[in-house]
Amino acid sequence: MSDPTTTTTPLRAVLGERTAKALATHLELHTAGDLIYHFPRRYDERGEHTDLRDLQIGEQVTLLAQVQSVSVKPMRARKGNMLEITIGDGSGATLTCTFFNQAWRERDLRRGRWGLFAGKVTDFRGKRQLNGPAYQLLSADATQDEAAEEIEEFAGALIPVYPAAQAVPTWVIAKCVRTVLDTFEPPPDPLPAAVRANRNLAGIGTALREIHRPSSKEALFSAKYRLKWDEAFAVQLTLVQRRARAAATPGTARPRTDGGILEKFDASLPYELTEGQRHVGEEIAADLARPHPMHRLLQGEVGSGKTLVSVRAMLQVVDAGGQAALLAPTEVLATQHFRGIREQLGALGRAGEIDGDPGGTQLTLVTGSLGAAARRAALAKVADGTAGIVVGTHALLYEGVDFKDLGLVVVDEQHRFGVEQRDALRAKAARPPHVLVMTATPIPRTVAMTVYGDLETSTLSELPRGRSPIASHVVPPERPAFLDRAWKRLREEVAAGHQAYVVCPRIGTGGADEDEEPPGDSEPARRPPLAVTEVAPLLAEGPLHGLRIGVLHGKLPTDEKDAVMRAFAAGDLDVLVATTVIEVGVDVPNSTVMIIMDADRFGVSQLHQLRGRVGRGSAAGICLLVTESVEGTAARERLDAVASTTDGFRLSEIDLEQRREGDVLGASQSGRHSHLRLLSLLHDAKLITDARTEASELIAGDPDLSRHPALAASVAALVDEERAEYLEKG
């Protein structure tokens, strides 16, 4: 008797060298475990086999029939050939099956062979046919019972369809899986028996067999649920462990100080904090006062006051003798933050200057475009601690930027940064600093729980008093007059003393730009997206003639970008034609209208961010989404959804529906593809919540999983070291 196949058995030992090499080369499957965990992406359901006389056009059928004739014909309209067979079931009725450029099938589909044929019935010149049907020929020498068994298996089964490669199609993978399962011995179940019983979970061996060869729909559901649970549980165990370790890591407490800069700052504010800002501020203040590093995610709607909350946190750290660094993804945003904070602090941010408060602190800006002298001066202030608050871009991460006592790292729009970049800034502290990451892109609860599950989460959902509502409308191609009205509406706003944005997805000619975000759904080939450098002159000569128009995009020299933003903020420009460089941080309260060209080229969350640039003052805002997408398309549905609500959390769920899970957990976040094969962050919210509960209880009693070695090994396999490291870094 041969040795059983285990998860570590090399595939060549089971399938032979040639097949194993193909699986390794094209699908990176090397062991029996790799193949067993290569789950089907969907299942075809054959249904009961059908009488040829009862076929309906458009029906999915499975037919038991005999090959009656075979012919190969050249195709006139295009190169290649067509294999055409006629099948019949003995009733006198026949059906044609066609295969294009697959003449090699003639060897199998010989006259007289019986088989099962599955496909969609189509009509071609008044004749019913199956185009490229799936089929399984019955063994030529099969007994009646064996034939009946083959028929039952094919006709009634849920047929797995695997992620495949051209050189290794799904049916080859299915055959390999069947071969492995014949001798497969599942590993000991890593899940504690109590968890399995609490959650009514199938055993691992049963789940792995049923996911590939489901005996029923109920068995398949049970198998999927168990394997989804394993994925969710592995991630949650890792995150709960990381959170526990972070809580035990020594850091430097930065408690509030009576009579310090923060107290003076609060007293100088010309408005009251919202209830949400006060509540979140207390959460952060308590974290900073502990002798362990804070790891907190602050999310909030556009304009909810996250920056003010972060400034108060930075001042608490400065009061306690430390420094704070605010990391922004672009120079425009870093400069905006620097100016905004400097203005908010007033004399408190100008210590050492003639009109500064001697009890205050200093701010400094560090960006890549600083001249040599300015850079030396800024870095000296950072190094000797004169600068209590340091605002910067990626330039803060470079060698030569040294802090005297970095106590708090604030990362704005954290999704724009890679793990290594965030970690590089943390490494500049003598002891692990407190970390606050902020995002104005609302995150669905399950994503927050799964991607940022090792961070405490604070949410600002309340908008400050004085913020005005934003009305959004789609400007569709079927109503050309609407676009003319859009430009007139913009002119009306300017005539009333307000300002406007026109946003384009591209900078200029010469290929794709870094500013453009690909759409969430596949689209046919279409014209290039509209560009700022092309649209601005057309508007100046056409519908916006006579208005003062400025241009802003990421490839302008820094001085020019700065000058344009200053002019727009000062009211010296009526209209700013820009890319998504204005997406975050740009705060011009006098702007009331935004027209987004080719709006279907942007993602849901990006559109929500962009329109947050208007309605920031006392006057109401309007956002017009110009598109060529017609009704009924996914792109148009996306835009209609954005126009229908300003609820960022609802839009974040729509955004998640439009994207693959891997975009949330994979390359766009960690630089790797998602390790979640079955788990859906959108549809498995309750499962993820339940897994979090069980993980928290288990880690509380066994922090290192030392009493559950099989589970620890399973977690390590599902959440590899690099992934775990990413999760830990937040």
CATH value at residue 86: 2.40.50.140
Secondary structure string (H, E, C) spanning 314-380: HHHHHHCCCEEEEECCCHHHHHHHHHHHHHHHHHHHECCCCCCCCCCCEEEEECCCCCHHHHHHHHH
According to the per-residue pLDDT averaged within each range, which of 3-17, 68-82, 461-475 is highest?
3-17
Q: Would you say residue 720 lies in a domain? A: no
Tell me the backbone φ, ψ of residue 551, rounded to 5 degrees.
-120, 135
Identify the weakest region by mean pLDDT among 154-168, 348-362, 713-727: 713-727
Tokens of 222: 């049970």
pLDDT given for residue 452 in this prediction: 63
pLDDT tens-digit series, residues 238-288:
888 888 887 778 889 999 999 999 999 999 998 888 888 999 999 999 999
Q: Are residues 441 and 476 in the same domain?
A: no
Q: Are residues 364 and 425 in the same domain?
A: yes
pLDDT given for residue 534 in this prediction: 92
pLDDT > 80? residue 553 = yes
Tell me the backbone φ, ψ of residue 84, rounded to 5 degrees.
-125, 125
pLDDT given for residue 633 in this prediction: 79
Distance (Å, rounded) from C-alpha 73 to C-alpha 77?
A: 12
DSSP string, 252-317: ------TTSHHHHHHHH-SSPPPHHHHHHHHHHHHHHTSSS--EEEEEE-TTSSHHHHHHHHHHHH
pLDDT > 50? residue 649 = yes
pLDDT given for residue 158 in this prediction: 75
pLDDT > 60? residue 728 = no
Domain boundary among 631, 662, 693: 662
Q: Would you say residue 312 lies in a domain? A: yes
Q: Are residues 16 and 61 in the same domain?
A: no
Strand partners, 154: none
Q: How much of the chain, in percent, has pLDDT values that exceed 70?
A: 83
pLDDT > 90? residue 21 = yes
Task: Centre a 10 Å sphere on the Cβ of residue 356 and count the other Cβ atoms it contains.
Answer: 17
Distance (Å, rounded) from C-alpha 482 to C-alpha 489?
A: 10
Q: Would you say residue 537 lies in a domain? A: yes
Q: How confident is the model at residue 660 (pLDDT cuts 50, 70, 90)?
A: very low
The CATH number that applies at residue 270 is: 3.40.50.300
Total residue length of the chain: 730
pLDDT > 70? residue 316 = yes
Task: Centre a 10 Å sphere on the Cβ of residue 136 and count the other Cβ atoms it contains.
Answer: 17
51 vs 38 pLDDT, higher one: 38
Q: Are residues 434 and 483 in the same domain?
A: no
* Mean pLDDT across the chain: 82
pLDDT > 60? residue 610 = yes
Q: Are residues 388 and 344 in the same domain?
A: yes
Residue ranges making up the domain that contains 647: 470-662
Cα distances from 672 to residues 238, 414, 657, 675, 726, in angstroms, run: 17, 17, 20, 9, 10
Distance (Å, rounded) from C-alpha 285 to C-alpha 454?
A: 19
Q: Which of 580, 480, 583, 486 is nearest to 539 (CA)?
A: 486
Q: Are residues 397 and 271 in the same domain?
A: yes
pLDDT > 60? residue 186 = yes
Domain count, the chain: 4
Q: Are residues 500 and 599 in the same domain?
A: yes
Residues 6+ apart with CB under 8 A from 51: 89, 91, 93
Q: Would you say residue 668 lies in a domain? A: no
Identify the weakest region by mean pLDDT among 94-103, 498-507, 515-524, 527-536: 515-524
Q: Which of 84, 92, 95 is nearest to 55 (CA)?
A: 95
578 vs 169 pLDDT, higher one: 578
| Mean per-residue pLDDT, 69-97 | 85
Q: Would you say residue 474 lies in a domain? A: yes
- Please check whether residue 178 is in contact with residue 5, taking contact to mean a CB–CB distance below 8 angstroms: no
Q: Are residues 493 and 406 in the same domain?
A: no
| Mean per-residue pLDDT, 173-196 | 91
Collapsing DSSP to helix, strand or coil, 181 comes out as helix
Q: Are residues 481 and 571 in the same domain?
A: yes
Distance (Å, rounded) from C-alpha 338 to C-alpha 611?
A: 23
Distance (Å, rounded) from C-alpha 441 to C-alpha 652?
A: 8
pLDDT tens-digit series, residues 406-462:
999 998 865 555 556 656 766 777 788 898 988 876 666 666 666 666 677 888 877
Q: Would you say residue 28 lies in a domain? A: yes
| Mean per-residue pLDDT, 557-583 | 88
Task: Centre a 10 Å sphere on the Cβ of residue 215 and count the other Cβ atoms it contains.
Answer: 12
Q: How confident is the model at residue 671 (pLDDT cuts 50, 70, 90)?
A: very low
Tokens of 423: 């970690």
Tokens of 684: 């498995």
Q: Would you say residue 583 lies in a domain? A: yes
pLDDT given for residue 326 in this prediction: 94
Tokens of 404: 């005297």
Q: Are residues 279 and 173 in the same domain?
A: no
Q: Are residues 164 and 304 in the same domain?
A: no
pLDDT given for residue 535 in this prediction: 94
What is the value of pTM for the model shown? 0.64
Q: Are residues 22 and 128 in the same domain?
A: no
Q: For residue 632, is it left (φ>0), alpha (ψ between -120 and 50) or beta?
A: left
Tokens of 19: 């097949």
- Please check whether residue 476 is in contact with residue 627, taking contact to mean a CB–CB distance below 8 angstroms: yes
The C-alpha torsion from 324 through 327 and 333 to 338, rounded to 10°, is: 20
Task: Centre a 10 Å sphere on the Cβ of residue 443 and count the other Cβ atoms it contains.
Answer: 24
Domain boundary among 102, 133, 155: 155
pLDDT > 60? residue 203 = yes
Q: Would you say residue 650 lies in a domain? A: yes
pLDDT given for residue 548 in this prediction: 95
| 252-276 exposure pattern, b = at least 16 Cβ within 10 A, e = fewer | bebeeeeebbbebbeeeeeeebbeb
Domain boundary among 640, 662, 684: 662
pLDDT tens-digit series, residues 86-137:
998 777 888 999 998 888 888 889 888 887 787 788 888 778 898 888 787 8
